[in-house]
Amino acid sequence: MAQRFHRILSGGLAVLGAGAVLALPTLAKLPVTAGRASSPVAQAQATNLKVTDLSTAMKWKAAPAGHSSASVAALAQKTLACLKKVGPVSPDPFGTTGKSGGVVLADVSSPTFYNKASPLIQLPSASSEAVVMTKGSGALSDLATIGRSGALSCLTAQLVGDSSLGGAGKGIKGTASYLAAPHHGAGSGGVHIRFVEHGGLLPGSLYDDEYFYVEGAIEVSMSFINLSSTFNPSWATAAITKVMARAASEAGKA
């Protein structure tokens, strides 16, 4: 959503389907608008997922954050309008639109880290996006809206649309459900949404576990993706703990 919407999203993942490599987005991997270096940008960069946060049981390779097309940007705006009907949100809740400005001081995505041994499907993968707001109250409002059931249809439609635009073909179906999240940060202590996509040219069910957190005025979304089974939950939990420890440190500097 953060992903993507963060959550969003631009390629970074590649999924092998029907003999072709398909670039697929993730809610936490929306492309971001380039901006000059600033304290908020530095905070977001410092907070984001690092390869050292991930399990050493797998060798990881980094793919840089992608760039948005006009179609992806239009879909992001449609998602934002949908979320506004669910509850109050900022112009870029957890990176939904990937645009900074006004109350959004910075929006920075990490690279997508994927299994080095799987260069074609590039899965499993992990990534994050950090958005720095002017006020913590705005970040908490975004988190509260993402945690409302009405947000699921908005975010699912965006993820499915981005996947289709990324080359996964027509006929993709998606579902979303709330699951328990490791408790970190302010507000509800975090929101965990599991998205599952299937159909189109996907060779199996694509599992995308998205986590949303707020620490001070920093919004953090993390995405853990795998094909046919979920990303290792213990690896995800350990990575989240490290990212949120940095988020707390950065928020304390504000």
Confidence grade of residue 167 (pLDDT, cut at 50, 70, 90):
confident
Q: How confident is the model at residue 119 (pLDDT cuts 50, 70, 90)?
A: confident
Q: What is the mean pLDDT of residues 63-76?
A: 82
Res 211 pLDDT > 90: yes
Return the pLDDT at 199: 92
Residue 5 has pLDDT above 50, yes or no: no
Pairing of strands 13-17, 20-24: antiparallel
How confident is the model at residue 154, as a pLDDT? Answer: 96
Going from N- to C-terminal start, the domains of the chain cover: 13-251
Question: pTM to 2 decimals?
Answer: 0.87
Nearest-10 Cα torsion for 169, 172, 177, 182: -20
The rounded percent of the chain whose pLDDT value lies above 90 is 70
Residue 76 has pLDDT above 50, yes or no: yes
Give, to the nearest 10 degrees, the angle between helix 136-146 and helix 70-86.
90
Tokens coding 165? 């635009």
Average pLDDT over every residue of 105-112: 96
Six-digit token string for 81: 């309008």
**Domain 13-251, CATH:** 3.40.1000
The yes-or-no verdict on residue 92 having pLDDT over 50 is: yes
User: Residue 16 in 3-state DSSP?
Assistant: strand
Question: What contacts 82, CB < 8 A, 6 or more positions away?
Answer: 153, 154, 157
CA gap 11, 162 in Å, rounded: 9
Higher pLDDT, 9 or 155: 155
**What letter does residue 101 receive in the DSSP assignment?**
B
Which tokens in the block code for residue 160? 């499915």
